[in-house]
Structure 1
Amino acid sequence: MAFSLHKIPQSVKNFSSLFPIFRTPSRTKLKYYTYINEPAQVIKQKQPKWVTAEEAFKDILKSNCIVSIQGAAATPSELINAMTKVGKSKDLKGIRVYHMHTDGSLPYVDASCADIFRSGSFFMGANVRKAVAEGRADAYPIFLSEIPLMFHKKIIEPDICLIHVSPPDSHGFCTLGTSVDCVRAAMTASKCIVALVNCQMPRTFGDSIIHISHIDFAVEADRHLPNHAAKPPCKEEMQIGKYIAEKLVEDGATLQMGIGNIPDATLAALTGHKNLGIHSEMFSDGVIPLVEKGCITNNNKKIFQGRTVGSFLTGSEKLYKFIDDNPSIEMLVVDYVNNNNVIKALPKMTAINACIEIDLTGQICSDSIGTMMFSGFGGQLDFLRGSAEAYDGRGKPIVALQSITGKGLSKIVPILKPGAGVVTTRGHVHYVVTEYGVANLFGKSLRQRAHALIQIAHPKHREALDKAAFDRLKTKPCP
């Protein structure tokens, strides 16, 4: 259960002077405290050493180190920049860096650092795509719910974990703020924790707690988090959101939303709904108006009733202020949030996810464009399967996409591009939504699926898709 935390005023700049007990005398040899791994438990007689970012890495960063980095809006850019600078200045080699989606530029993935650092992405962002495409970085196909197992099973044993936290409260507790996800697992598996302590990081509840005694090196910061205010949805996205809201989302539904304009457009169309709940690996600004209007209450949920559940988030300054010290928001570990048994126990679980393309049999590619890796598995299949298996029999797994690309090519295709990865199999897909309507593929044969998908394809591509379906299936698509 969450408990109330007393926020330190943002005017406080020097955390070590505010909490003199936490000052650490200079040490000639770094001591690792690995006997207590629970971040919420106090380690007696241990305090962090307050240093500059570069000083933090001077002694601990070595060749062949393994580093884990917190991501999304909580990406500790100052620590990443300092790590890169120290790695280059010491001419280190073979440092492996693991992370989910990270925000901003990553200097260590530059070609000039190829022998020093190698990135490993559990979910790729634009800042590592070039390095992965050129073979200088790695992409890991893995369900979001299973990323913590990489640390729990000691497949990855970090020497250093870089985190970004809110300041300590009167009891010495910091929080992971906007990103809990797999960070908690990485911290408990790490030998050394380096924290960016930012007075503008929101304080959050749930699994976010870390006592300052678990931090080995602390670096002060006072800066805004990345501002990712949603762009206004286009008319096609608005229509998709309207279809989902009017035809698929029921009053009392629990919602999961992926990243992008379509989930936000769906939320904007739900202002007439009642008693909605949120249980999602991430959410953004779109939930705020629905909370303010009383549409989102979380009242029907039996798990974390009355509270919005997430694991990481990114958005605008308004979102960060909304979650700050807000006990109605629970930030939990992703292996819980995305756990199939938890998801299917939620009322009318409705999962809304996007994709890159879908073939006429229902195979969905979400992580690559042909052979070029683009993102990752994320939580798509975790939630699509969980909602499909909902105990109340009223779950709705939804995949939404615009019918065509920016170049006018159909996203509903005869076959996936050569090398494209199948994230959601044809056996997992149920509802598919475009701006031209809703197709329910569950329980349908291949020719029935092809017919349903052609009906929601862009009109200019339907004739070609119908012919391609006949060539592939040797029979005419029919309802």
Structure 2
Amino acid sequence: MKSGDRVVLANLCGEPHLMPSLLMDRAWELENVRLFHLRPFGKFKDKYLEPGMEKHVKCATVFAGGVPSIVQLIREGKAEFYPIPLSKIPWLFKEGPYRPDVFITTVSPPDRHGYCSLGVSVDYAWAALEASKTVIAEVNDNMPRTCGDSFVHLSQIDYLVEVSEPVYEIPQVSITKVEEKIGENVASLVEDEATIQIGYGGMSEAITSFLREKKDLGMHTEMVPEGTITLVEEGALTCEKKSIHKRKIVCTFNAGTRRLYDWLDENPIIEMKPVDYTNDSRIIAMNHKMTAINTALQVDLYGNIYSDMLGLDQYSGAGGQPDFVLGALLCPNGKSIIVLPSTAASGKVSRIVVHPTLSGNVKAPLIPTVTRFYADYVVTEWGIASLKDKTTSERAKALIEIAHPDFKDELWEQARKINLVA
């Protein structure tokens, strides 16, 4: 790697262990290097904060992932943030402004035919691999061999570095009573034979736990929550009724515990695909009863959905939310479901607001991730609001009904003041 290079790291838990730190160790020898990744795991990320580092190695990203150092860099103008959904990252590398020189990834050891697996991170890997002049791969014996479009031949890799490190994990979190109630409410909207998309975290695991009685579910998603293992084992998720990729769980990356990685390893039900395929709204819409389930930080009474900012701070990124919301709405029998707890800050702040500028909360997200024109269902622990077929006033009333009782009177009062409701 040399001055002026644009470097790409494999995504999330596919992030290489050794090479990013070695790059940052010699950062002061380099100038004007750009380092692209999404949410980083390695300790290399802390070196970004050293004074003047952005002149040597500068972060570039589309997803901060709530990592404090990355959020700070963006706030201070010391990182490059591209406001695009995940589906557009391959475009960014192949046709857009970030044409990579070096791609650093993690792969499984090769099989007897010379093929390694990209493991838990296929997403933008093929675009980076094909666009980069140099490909470096850490060969990690702990990386699962996933099925689908995940196999890269040794001839496609310029340099191999042998490591034996645990694949990065995201630990399971305890499910709260609020998340459990939200999961129960969401499950009531998921029909038998639906194709579901669902993300990671306590909310996602709570939702999957209430889907065990469903019949012949399918899955077309970015990542597979750990609760999927139980749904497959108990026969709720079969993918038999899918309209495309029948009998396959289609995903693009994975993040979880070793239990998930062991389950993914050589599992023929898994079909890993590049992110510009999994997250293509047109492909998503082809799935039978496509049901996209995504979390948000805040929803206003107009139906605008806020998921990636706190105030004007770039807290995370759009991720695949816009891709799947649009895909579900393009599907003739699809549903887009936005889920969130009704409050934040230990119950001191309502996540249902008339508008963020009227909330009195300095951390209230000010820029929507998905605008009101694409709103469908919103779910809290207090109920379900169906918005797609409602007027602006009707939406406001439906959303107030699922707000926390402690804030309902204030929401009604503010909504009346601006003539949003009578």
1:277 matched to which residue of 2? Answer: 218
Task: Render the CA deviation track for 1:220-260: whole Å, top value 9, x for unaligned.
Answer: 111211232321210000000001112x0011110001232
Unmatched segments (≥5 aa) in structure 1: 1-60
| Displacement of 1:473 | 2.6
Unmatched segments (≥5 aa) in structure 2: 358-363
Alignment of 1:250-269 (within 5 A): 250-269=191-210
**What is the one-letter code of the residue matched to 1:399?**
I
Which of residues 93, 112, 115 in structure 2 aligns to 1:173?
115
Distance 2:54 2:7 in 1: 16
Alignment of 1:238-387 (within 5 A): 238-246=180-188, 248-387=189-328
Alignment of 1:138-149 (within 5 A): 138-149=80-91
Q: Contact 2:397 / 2:421 at 8 angstroms: preserved in 1? A: no
Question: Measured at CA, do residues 206 and 474 of structure 1 come closer, stay the same or move farther in structure 2, by a change above 3 Å?
Answer: closer
Question: Measured at CA, do residues 372 and 191 of structure 1 come closer, stay the same or move farther in structure 2, by a change above 3 Å?
Answer: same
Which of residues 4, 10, 26 in structure 2 aligns to 1:86?
26
1:460 matched to 2:406? The reply is yes
| Displacement of 1:419 | 6.8
2:176 matched to which residue of 1? Answer: 234
**Which of the two has higher C-alpha Rg?**
1
**What is the one-letter code of the residue matched to 1:109?**
Y
2:419 matched to which residue of 1? Answer: 473
Which of residues 146, 149, 162 in structure 2 aligns to 1:204?
146
Say which SS state the counterpart of residue 239 (structure 1) adopts. helix
2:50 matched to which residue of 1? Answer: 111
| Displacement of 1:111 | 2.4
TM-score w.r.t. length of structure 1: 0.84
2:360 matched to which residue of 1? Answer: none
Distance 1:103 1:347 in 2: 36
Alignment of 1:46-195 (within 5 A): 61-88=1-28, 91-105=29-43, 106-112=45-51, 113-125=53-65, 126=67, 127-195=69-137
TM-score w.r.t. length of structure 2: 0.95
* Percent of residue pairs bearing the same amino acid type: 38
1:407 matched to 2:349? The reply is no
Task: Render the CA deviation track for 1:322-355: whole Å, top value 9, x for unaligned.
Answer: 0011121011001100111211111111000001
Distance 1:221 1:328 in 2: 28
Task: Render the CA deviation track for 1:369-394: whole Å, top value 9, x for unaligned.
Answer: 1101101111111111111111xx32
| Alignment coverage as a number of residue pairs | 411
| Displacement of 1:201 | 0.3
Q: Contact 2:171 / 2:256 at 8 angstroms: preserved in 1? A: yes
Question: Measured at CA, do residues 67 and 376 of structure 1 come closer, stay the same or move farther in structure 2, by a change above 3 Å?
Answer: same
| Displacement of 1:134 | 2.1
Say which SS state the counterpart of residue 343 (structure 2) adopts. coil
2:383 matched to which residue of 1? Answer: 437
Q: Contact 2:393 / 2:420 at 8 angstroms: preserved in 1? A: no
**What is the one-letter code of the residue matched to 2:31?**
K
Two-structure CA RMSD over aligned residues (Å)? 1.4
